[in-house]
Structure 1
Amino acid sequence: MDDLVLREDHDGWTILSLNRPDKLNALTVDVFRALRAQIELLANDHTVRCVVLRGAGKCFSAGHDLGDIATGEAVPSRGWHSETLRMLERLPQPVIAAVHGHCYTGALEVALACDFIVAADNARFGDTHAKWALTPIWGMSQRLPRRVGVATAKRLMFTADMIDAVEAERIGLAEYVVPLADFEREIAALASRIASQSAFSHRANKRLLAATDGMPLDAGLQWEILENEGHGPDFAERVAGFGGRKG
């Protein structure tokens, strides 16, 4: 089971790869169990300053394994999948969903639990719950409208339409689109840039954004002032290394 999600460490950043390429990385309880184990390790790993979540082989993931659903999943507890994605969302490190190929329904719910999505130009997204007479329980109804707006979320949920990477970028689902030939290089460059910044700032900014999400502007501004975490332990070193420093 450990090989269902692979971890590959780089200089300050890590790739987690969903690893059922022969099944288009379809999501099962065992895949989630492996993902959850990796999340738990990363939550306390201060050497990792950025996480990339992607799929092995041809795509990110084709979504929830319908065969697993049909045979009756042995879920550890009610809401366990959703809880696992909340753990992913609450990782202290920035988390990038690097999406190529299919990203449907359950897979989209996984990607939405990341901080943002970068898409290869062959990526395709969709919510097909309605196609199968299902309703979301992994977070689609909450995260999709927060990402793209309520009306657009309703359109995608009601039609079960598939959209391409260009449309995903247009509606704000994906941050930007990269040619597939350049995808690996761009993801590595992006993760490296994020990892080069202060882990203290990343953690503090994620806490700040999470705490003030949905607040009225004045309340959010007040929170930013009163709950400000100041500067991190690497502040002096970073300032001292600034080439333009005077005095």
Structure 2
Amino acid sequence: MNDRVKLTIKNNIAYAALARPEKLNAIDMAMFIAIDKTIKQLKKNREIRAVILTAEGENFCSGLDVKSVLSSSRYALRLLFKLLPWRANLAQRVSTGWRDIPVPVIAVINGKCWGGGLQIAMGADFVVANTNAEFSIMEGRWGLIPDMGGTLAFREKASLAAIKELAMTAKIVSAQEAQSLGLVSHVNSKPEVVAQSLIASFIHQSPDSVAGCKKLYNKSWWSSPGWALFRESWYQIKVIMGKNSRIKRYNQLNPDKVKAFAKRENW
């Protein structure tokens, strides 16, 4: 995309790496724009089966580059502007956008994952942390509140009291504590290996059933029971009518004659 995000695709797996290691991958305007463009590109790609979100260097992201971003009022306006108040702005899309990519997104975290970095990671479906990783909702140290879209994930992953405490104190917690709170899925000294193991289990499933599950649960976790039941039925019809459902059933019955899946439907 540019020098702020390095995107590579290998064997239908996308690897998106924050690429500002000399600044601990702190988020400046160029990185906001690069992440947003990367997400839009990946959403259109119907051949990828998973995304690994990571970062170059020893730290995932130390948060917002406050000095850089606040150096211009134009930057603040571009980050916060939205035509419709219930839609995500640029600052929020770097977190919420990962939720809209119809494949599993796995964030691999090393070192610091603070402030805006944590907001970005929370957009992933799964967070795999190194034992040396540390996490913080750090906006309070700058007299701010977290406003980069992570609230959607926080309410799904952790208790209200836990998130309030983290946000109000801006304290730093270890990977193990973050896991106990629900913010981290796995903690391992080799997080990349864990991420690849997860991907290996996903790619044996129909890409449409995986996409359908992600959309179903993201949209229904906090919706009314009626809408949740409606989506279950509607998405199931869409999955059953698709070619990949038939391929998966064939593969299940014929393990020695496995067929390759077709391109994912538009989800």
Q: Which residue of 2 aligns with 1:200?
A: 208
CA distance in 2, matches of 1:226, 1:215: 15
- Residue of 210, 217, 230 corresponding to 2:239: 230
Query: Paired residue for 1:189?
Result: 197
Structure 1 residues 29, 73: CA separation in 2 closer, same or farther (over 3 Å shift)?
farther
Aligned to 2:86: none
Deviation, structure 1 residue 17: 0.2
Deviates more, 1:87-96 or 1:162-171: 87-96
TM-superposed CA distance for 1:217, in Å, is 4.4
CA distance in 2, matches of 1:67, 1:192: 41
Check 1:242–1:227 CA distance in 2 against 1; reply closer, same or farther (3 A cut): closer
In the TM superposition, 1:14-163 aligns within 5 A as 14-72=14-72, 74-75=74-75, 76=78, 78=81, 79-163=89-173
Partner of 2:263: none
Q: Secondary structure at the match of 2:187?
A: strand
Q: TM-score, normalised by structure 2?
A: 0.83
SS of equivalent residue, structure 1 residue 118: strand
Taking structure 1 as reference, are residues 28 and 151 closer, same or farther at Cα in structure 2, changes over 3 Å only?
A: same
**Does the CA-based 8 Å contact 1:18-1:54 persist in structure 2?**
yes
Partner Cα distance (2:138, 2:58) in 1? 20
Q: Which runs of 5+ in 2 are unaligned?
A: 82-88, 256-267
Higher mean displacement: 21-30 or 37-46 = 37-46
Identity rate, percent = 26
Deviations 1:56-112 (A, max 9, x none): 111111111122134136433513211343322211111111111100010010011
Deviation, structure 1 residue 178: 0.7
Secondary structure of 1:131's match? helix
Between the two proteins, the alignment pairs up a number of residues equal to 243
Q: What is the rounded CA distance, in whole Å, between the counterparts of 1:39 and 1:90 in structure 2?
A: 9
Q: Indicate how the Cα distance of structure 1 residues 131 and 158 shifts in structure 2: closer, same or farther if over 3 A, else same.
A: same
SS of the residue corresponding to residue 117 of structure 2 reads helix
Partner of 1:214 in structure 2? 222
C-alpha displacement of 1:196: 3.2
Q: For 1:141 and 1:238, how far apart are their aligned partners in 2?
A: 36
Letter in 1 for 2:183: L
**1:15, 1:51 within 8 Å by CA — same for their partners in 2?**
yes
CA distance in 1: counterparts of 2:249 and 2:151, whole angstroms: 43
Q: Identify the residue that residue 177 of structure 1 maps to in structure 2.
A: 187
For the residue of structure 2 that corresponds to 1:17, the secondary structure is strand
Bigger mean CA offset, 130-139 vs 234-243 = 234-243
Q: Is the 8 A contact 2:239 2:245 kept in 1?
A: no
Q: Structure 1 CA distance, aligned partners of 2:248 and 2:228? A: 28
- 8 Å contact 1:29–1:74 — kept in the other structure? no
What secondary structure, in the 3-state scheme, does the structure 1 residue paired with 2:52 have? strand
**Structure 1 outlier segments of 4+, above 6 Å:** none
- 1:2 is paired with a residue whose SS is coil
SS at match of 1:196: coil
Instruction: Classify the secondary structure of the residue corresponding to 1:230.
Output: helix
Q: Structure 1 length normalisation: TM-score?
A: 0.89
CA distance in 2, matches of 1:3, 1:31: 9
Cα separation, 1, equivalents of 2:98 and 2:73: 21
